[in-house]
Amino acid sequence: MTSASAALRAAGRPRARQPRRAGLAVYLIAGTVASVLFVLPLAWGVFRSLLPDTLVTSAPSSADVHHVTFANYTGLIGGGILHYALNSLLVAAMTAAATAVVATLAGYGFARFRFRGSGLVFALVIATLMVPFQALLTPLFLEMHTLRLTNSLLGLALFYTTFNLPFGVFVMRNTFLQIPWELSEQAAVDGAGAGRTLVSVLRPLVVPGIATTVLYAFLFSWTEFVGALTFLTSNDLYTLPLALLNMEYGSVGQVNFGYLEAGAVIAMIPCVVLYVLLQRYYIRGLTSGVVKG
């Protein structure tokens, strides 16, 4: 796993010739222009969310800047958006925690223990990548309904956890494989069992792997849409994207675009903050071999 960041640091080092000043200026200008294309739509959304609904639904004009207001946000909060945000947060937290625990245990087991069928089970877990859950909505719905896992945030989190496992198990297995074997052998000599070894000796070494797994699971769960749409039918349990969908189609009459825009911004903020703060772990995951597309 350290290979990723090492590679990024080493990247281009041998051929990063000192750019000439004119070349650098062109580079920075081109990069800034391109960045604007990628960020402006999102920033524009933030700006529109700060306009009263009457202005949001009329053609944008330069006079809009004089009418900036938090009315959409206060209105949404009064309308209970925080309840849906909390649902999203609960599902994402449960998914992240469950993925971290299950993937760490499995990664440890696959990397450090020999048992019959180990290769087959590992292949089965990784092969889950080949199965699009979008195509299994019907059997999953019927099965989860029977298990009383539809209309349940826990059920949704278990479903998300499973489809995050191939990535998590792959990352965690690689993480454990990189730790010198002698380290855990030494602990075994000192009389520590598998559990003690994991918690007291290996834990500090696998934390970066766990951080990567948690970040992916959290973001996957936070932004997932079609699974939540299928497995949650009670309005009370809706996650943020479903609450937004409700604003779009569920309301009678005109869509309140001001609210919709503000709700989208609320859904966007945690992703941006987590990504910018934990980018190092995110990129580590991208270069580790498995990615959620």
Partner 1 sequence: MIVDESGPRDNTVPRVRPARPRGTLVRGGSLRARRARTGIALVSPAFALVAVFVLFPLAFAVYISLTDWPLIGPYHFTGGRNYTELIHDPVFLHSVLFTLLYTAIVTGPILVLGYAMAVFVRANWPGSVVFRTVFFLPFIVGLATESFMLLLELQPDSGAIDAVLGKLGLASSSTAWTVHYGLALGAICVFVVWFASGLTMMILMGGMQGVPGELYEAADVDGATWWQKERRITIPMLRRNIALSLIISVIGSFLAFNQFFILTEGGPGTSTEPIVMWIYQEAFVAYHLGYATAGAIALVIVVGIISAAQFYLLRDDADAPRRAGRRR
Looking at residues 86 to 145 of the shown chain, list those that interact with partner 1 (rule: CB under 8 A): 101-103, 105-106, 108-118, 121-122, 124-125, 127-132, 134-143
- The window from 67-75, 79-87, 205-213, 253-261 that contacts partner 1 (CB under 8 A) reads 253-261
Per DSSP, the residues of 186-255 read HHHHTT--HHHIIIIIIHHHHHHHHHHHHHHHHHHHHH--HHHHHH--SGGG--HHHHHHIIIIISSSS-
| In the complex, least distance from residue 174 CB atom to partner 1, rounded to whole angstroms | 6
- Asked if 160 and 227 count as a contact pair (C-beta separation under 8 A), the reply is yes
For 3, the enclosing helix (H) or strand (E) is helix 2-10
DSSP at 92: H
Residue 4 near partner 1 by CB under 8 A: yes
Q: Number of residues in contact with partner 1, rule: CB under 8 A?
A: 123
> Nearest approach, Cβ of 134 to partner 1 (angstroms)?
5
Cβ atoms within 10 Å, residue 266: 22
Report the residue from 80, 119, 250, 289 that binds partner 1 according to the rule CB under 8 A: 289
Is the Cβ of residue 86 or residue 245 nearer to partner 1 in the bound state? 245
Of 72-80, 81-89, 204-212, 240-248, which part binds partner 1 (CB under 8 A)? Answer: 240-248
| Residue keyed to tokens 């990535």 | 167
The mark string for 146-175 relative to partner 1 (x by CB under 8 A, - otherwise) is ------------xx-xxx-x---x----x-
**Contact between 217 and 88 (Cβ < 8 Å):** no
33 binds partner 1 (CB under 8 A): no
